[in-house]
Amino acid sequence: MPLIKSAKKKLRIDRRKESSNKKIENLVRLSIKKAGKKPTPKSIQEAFKIIDKGAKKNIIHKNKASRIKSRLSKLLNKNKKTLSPTKVKSGLSKTKRAKKKTS
């Protein structure tokens, strides 16, 4: 236990910061899980928002935040490709028009 007055104050502040950091850290972890399981644009957007808050407050490193966001974006794009129906090209091509000769 600290004896000096400033050390006691520092301990109080550290405990307060620790609890707020834990909340944001848990939010980041949960939002990443949620966005990873069901990658919808809305869930990805929410995850990005929370990840950016964590990076801004130095709870997670900015490069780690960037890496996580990149991976989530890839997941979303991969999911879009599997969900969107692919167009089937028919064997018939469009008829070519004869070019007009200009003199």
Total number of residues shown for the chain: 103
| Whether pLDDT at 81 is above 90 | no
> Which range among 2-11, 35-44, 69-78, 93-102 shows the weakest confidence by mean pLDDT?
93-102
Q: Which residue has the tokens 């834990």?
A: 22
Residues in Cβ contact with 27 at an 8 Å cutoff, skipping those fewer than 6 apart: 50, 54
Radius of gyration of the chain (CA): 26
Per the confidence metrics, is the pTM higher than 0.85? no
Please give the Cα distance from 72 to 54 (Å, whole number). Answer: 16
At 19, the pLDDT band (50, 70, 90 cuts) reads very high
Output the pLDDT for position 78. 86
